Amino acid sequence: MDPATLELLWLVSGIVVGSAIVVLIMLAARRGQQAAEVVNTAVPDGVDQVLDALESAGAVLDPSNTVVKASPGALAFGLVWNQALVHPVLIEMVDRVRRTGEPLAEEVQLSRGPMGDAILYLWVRVARLGSRYVMLIAEDRTESYRLDDVRKDFVANISHELKTPIGAVSLLAEALASASDEPEQVRRFAKRLTVEADRLARITQELIQLSRLQAADALTMPTLVDIDAVVSIAIDQNRVAADSHGIQLAVGKKSHAEVYGDEALLVVALHNLIANAIQYSPDSSRIGIGVTESDGIIEIAVTDQGVGIADEERDRVFERFYRSDPARSRNTGGSGLGLAIVKHVAQNHGGDVRVWSQPGNGSTFTIRLPEASPATAASLGVQQ
């Protein structure tokens, strides 16, 4: 090869290598730029703080539906797991917003809990956040749905409870009118009218008591209450009913216990427990009423030897209108509100009510209240 050809060859290979290096540098630069774009998933300024401050659940999703930010609520509700939305219905909402560009607001029901048996009611809003992201905000409406259900149930139950005695009153009035010439029949119908009128009066009175108790979280004017006095008034109120069934009401020795609260309400609560003990006990049995104190808690227990309550019903008996045996309870004139009232009275006094029962052997209902002390006075807002 002559020197001129060799020089040309060097020149050409120099150009080729040089261009290759330039191309490589340009490629590298372009890749670097792309990498920066991928890494730069920074969500717009301020979104972090907004999510942290949100009481509702919130999440920001990137174009691949990866959750790049989530509020603590979103994790607590179980909406986000492993940087993804858990529920397909929410993913579908996000996709729809991305497709249409329009914000969405919908009510969504999600199953939750280990068995998927708890329902979460959410009000979900989804909107675009800048050009890349979508933001989802979910507000928990479960409690307001639950309260709405309780309210509807309550109204339905009241109507049902009132329908029976009202129906009976109008039938008896008709019967009275057509039996006006037969004094014996008139007396019989009049007696039954009184029974139904009494039942109506009791239901209305219990409803008023219950709604007052539920409306107030705390007692209006708590005073020092002598528990022995509460016990003796409640027993006196039930004496006639107990005697008519040959049931003995046995009271323990005086406790000298005192609590802060409302004497009339405590009498109502204990009255209800003793009245139930009488209703659900066989004739000639014995009911014990005792007061004990330990560790600053006063316990008022009513023990009967009655029918008892099945395991699965024990917690439910404190619900409004709950009866384990509606037919029996209706015959005895019960409204199903008695124990709900007891529960609320105990709660308003800073205490609770518990039940022990064995079907066939009897039950013990115990009202537990904090003993009167400067601390309970302060917590119940007693005026000193």
Least distance CB 196 / ligand ADP (angstroms): 16
The reply to whether 261 sits near ligand ADP by the rule CB under 6 A is: no
Q: Which is nearer to ligand ADP, 234 or 337 (CB)?
A: 337
- E strand segments, 36-91: 57-61, 67-70, 80-81, 84-85
Residue 318 CA to residue 185 CA, distance in Å, equals: 40
Q: State which of residues 59, 230, 307, 353 lies at the interface with ligand ADP (CB under 6 A).
A: 307
Q: Which residues pair with 104 in a beta bridge?
A: 126
The reply to whether 367 sits near ligand ADP by the rule CB under 6 A is: no
The reply to whether 336 sits near ligand ADP by the rule CB under 6 A is: yes
Cβ-based burial of 86 (10 A; exposed 0-12, middle 13-18, buried ≥19):
middle
Q: Which is nearer to ligand ADP, 222 or 334 (CB)?
A: 334
Q: Which is nearer to ligand ADP, 163 or 256 (CB)?
A: 163
Residue 141 CA to residue 110 CA, distance in Å, equals: 12
Q: State which of residues 124, 136, 270, 339 lies at the interface with ligand ADP (CB under 6 A).
A: 339
The reply to whether 366 sits near ligand ADP by the rule CB under 6 A is: no
Query: How many chain residues interact with ligand ADP (CB under 6 A)?
Result: 23
Q: In the structure encoding, which two tokens stand for residue 334, read together?
A: 């019960």
Q: Which is nearer to ligand ADP, 77 or 365 (CB)?
A: 365
The reply to whether 322 sits near ligand ADP by the rule CB under 6 A is: yes
Q: State which of residues 305, 363, 366, 376 lies at the interface with ligand ADP (CB under 6 A).
A: 363
Q: State which of residues 323, 343, 344, 349 lies at the interface with ligand ADP (CB under 6 A).
A: 323
Q: How far is CA 47 from the centre of its chain?
A: 33
How is residue 245 annotated by DSSP? T
Give the count of beta carbons closer than 10 Å to the beta carbon of residue 333. Answer: 15
Q: Which residues pair with 123 in a beta bridge?
A: 107, 139
The reply to whether 242 sits near ligand ADP by the rule CB under 6 A is: no
Cβ-based burial of 269 (10 A; exposed 0-12, middle 13-18, buried ≥19):
buried
Give the count of beta carbons closer than 10 Å to the beta carbon of residue 230. Answer: 25
CA-nearest of 97, 35, 108 to 65 is: 97
The reply to whether 335 sits near ligand ADP by the rule CB under 6 A is: yes
Least distance CB 293 / ligand ADP (angstroms): 23
Strands 248-251 and 286-294: parallel
Least distance CB 324 / ligand ADP (angstroms): 3
Binding mask 276-295 for ligand ADP (x = CB under 6 A): xx--x---------------
Site residues (vs ligand ADP, CB under 6 A): 272, 276-277, 280, 304, 306-309, 317, 322-325, 329, 334-340, 363
